[in-house]
Structure 1
Amino acid sequence: MYNFHEVLSDSVRVGHIFVISGYSARFANSLKILLACGKAENSNVALSLETKFADRKIIRSAFVGGNFVNEECDSENSNLSNLSYENSMPLRPGEQFTFCILVGDDRFHIAVNDASYCQYKYQTSPEQIRSIMIYGDMDALVKVNHLKMFPFIYPNIQSDYEDLAFESFIPKQYGPGHLTLITGTVNGKSDGEFIIMFTQDETKRQLIHFNVRFDETAVVMNTMDAEEGWSDNEIRTMDFPFVIGEKFKLAFAFTEHELKVAVNGSQLIQYPLHHIEMDDDENLWAELTGFRVKNGIDMLTKITDVEHIKMNDQNCEDFEEYCAL
């Protein structure tokens, strides 16, 4: 069973889209995606998508006032009427899946594996959505993106990466006082590594490179120049709080002049933002719109929680308290 929870960075509006992608388990029974109106499990849910593999159904509903309402499945309010039985259920156990959920004027428009699937009328305002919850039989969850598609695309479509463990992009700029919390585990070789990177727009340039190296028991931070070469501004930590197989909780706190990082409630490293090379017509904050996690060879990084917080203090004092386990 794979459980994931993300607290959104921004309110949900018409023209926003959620892209959720991963791999179901070989013998998967169910997969559930909730667009919830709060952080608690009993919060109202604007949209519930429950895939039941054995029944060949994707059930749509909402949870309002303690009750599930307006349940729909199969060809009800969907685009399946002209499909054969074999093609009416687009998901298979053990295969990759991608859900795209577009926030329309009065309903959600839902696509599955790059094909339009169905619509679902609002039972509660999408502006109340505060979090995404994903449960089920998955081998991996690799994308949970909250993007803006109308009246313009933001951020721009991102380049694909090999060995991608996870990515999360948001429809707003980072800025001083922005705090990103990332919780997960890593398994694999005792001399392996994993990387968290904040990339520039649609390119593969790593504006911020956070490399956890188990063979060196060190965390290395650096940045790439405009030609995607490494800068000479590498910084290493003396402490190493990561353990193979054990949960970690990271806090990335952006201030006006530096990025401060804490792990499991303790500050770990600071990286000066002036090391990041930007052209005169570029704004660093406009380029920071999300992060990716990349596996090293024979490593498996599993992200289970993401939360975005706008702190009142732009210097992010005491930010490390947010990542205490």
Structure 2
Amino acid sequence: MFQPGEGWQQEEISKNWKSDGPKNPLIPGQSFTFRVAVLQRCFEIYVNDQLYGSFEFVKFPKQINYVRAYGDFEKITQFHHRMLFPLVFPRTLMCPDRIAFQSDVPRRYETGTVVAMECIAKGPPSTEFSICFQCNDSGRTVLRFQVNFDRTTVSRSYQREDNSFASDDEETEGEFPFVRGKLFKIAFGLGDRAFLIAVNGQYFTYYNFPVRPFSISTLKCFTNDVGDFAVRSLEYHSDSPLLSRVEKLSII
């Protein structure tokens, strides 16, 4: 356990940790799932859907605001917040496409919510990636923010009822602030009528909501066959005022 001002307390680990499983169930180079359930008296930890062990609280945490991953991770491709009851698998997470990263929260984004992401895109000049926000009810994309390095364009569009993305719906105005292989931070703010978007501390554009009403709790990031896209950090914020926070939260 980590205590502020004291560092890591190894004796707490040996006393509070309980496990009947293998000491290390992970295999280098293979992907795995890691789940943590916050219960009344402990964290229950699952690796690849198997109970690995439990860690009893020294005292119940008042509020958990951050999750940090340390060590030699190649890439984290999913980060989901779940409620144990009811146990649901959102429709928006079912997708056969090439997903680089996805995340959902157990309640919809309210007006004033800001999602900030620190990301990096690598690959040849033909690399593309997109960040999509999807409607919980229909599964359709309310905003697709697509970056094309070959054309140096950033397009914004939405998914129609027939699930198509038509070119006449796209917006492409604006600068091109992205560089292959260079870390960037982007923030999406949910306003009353539009998404507000900022990149690296600068206001980038807005995108009017294509339909109303809708409910969003899921984002997905896609890349084409030649590109590599990774999310280094993901933050959710919900205070105000919105525009100043969108710019501030996108500062890298």
TM-score by length of 2: 0.88
- Contact 2:174 2:205 survives alignment (8 Å): no
| Aligned residue runs from structure 1 range 152-167, under 5 A | 152-153=86-87, 156=90, 158-167=93-102
Return 5+ residue gaps in structure 1 as ranges: 1-61, 81-86
1:316 matched to 2:243: yes
Query: Structure 2 CA distance, aligned partners of 1:179 and 1:316?
Result: 10
Q: How far apart are residue 290 of structure 1 and its match?
A: 2.7
For the Cα contact (< 8 Å) 1:177–1:316, is it kept in 2? no
Runs of at least 5 residues in structure 2 that lack an aligned partner in the other structure: none
Change (3 A) 1:179 1:309: same
Mapped to 1, the partners of 2:66 and 2:186 lie a distance apart of: 19
Structure 2 contact 157–170 (Cα < 8 Å) conserved: yes
Matched, 1:63 2:2: yes
1:187 aligns with 2:122: yes
**Counterpart Cα distance in 2 of 1:290 and 1:218:** 24
Q: Show structure 1 runs of 4+ deviating over 3 A.
A: none
Pairing partner for 1:123 from 39, 55, 58:
58
Partner residue in 1 for 2:192: 256
The normalised TM-score by structure 1 is: 0.69
AA in 2 matched with 1:263: V
Is 2:173 the counterpart of 1:237? yes
Asked whether the 8 Å contact 1:182–1:249 carries over to 2, the reply is yes
CA distance in 1, matches of 2:23, 2:138: 36
Counterpart residue number, 1:45: none
Number of aligned residue pairs: give it: 246
In structure 2, what is the equivalent of residue 303 of structure 1? 231
SS of 2:233's equivalent in the other structure is strand
Backbone CA RMSD of aligned residues:
2.3
More strand per residue: 1 or 2? Answer: 1
Matches within 5 A, 1:1-325: 62-65=1-4, 66=6, 67-68=8-9, 69-72=11-14, 77-80=18-21, 89-150=24-85, 152-153=86-87, 156=90, 158-201=93-136, 204-231=139-166, 232-273=168-209, 275-276=210-211, 283-284=213-214, 287-313=215-241, 315-317=242-244, 319-325=246-252
Quick one: which amino acid aligns to residue 188 of structure 1? G
Q: Could you give the per-residue CA deviations for residues 27-48 of structure 1, whole angstroms, max 9, x where no partner exists?
A: xxxxxxxxxxxxxxxxxxxxxx
Instruction: Give the letter aligned to residue 236 of structure 1.
Output: T
Report the alpha carbon displacement of residue 203 of structure 1 after superposing the two structures with TM: 6.3
**SS of residue paired to 2:160:** coil
For the residues of structure 2 that align with 1:93 and 1:305, how far apart are their CA atoms?
A: 23
Amino acid at match of 1:255: G
Change (3 A) 1:161 1:203: farther
Q: 1:309 Cα shift?
A: 1.4
- Tell me how far apart the structure 1 counterparts of residues 218 and 90 of structure 2 sit (CA, whole Å): 11
Displacement of 1:139 = 1.8
3-state SS, counterpart of residue 127 of structure 1: coil
Q: Deviation per CA, 1:116-166: give whole Å up to 9, x if none.
A: 22111112323331101001112221011112222x246726214443221
Cα-to-partner distance string for 1:234-279 (whole Å, 9 max, x where unaligned) = 1112310101111111010110100011111222221111x13x5x
SS in 2 for 1:166: strand
Instruction: Report if aligned partners of 1:144, 1:169 keep a CA contact under 8 Å in 2.
Output: yes
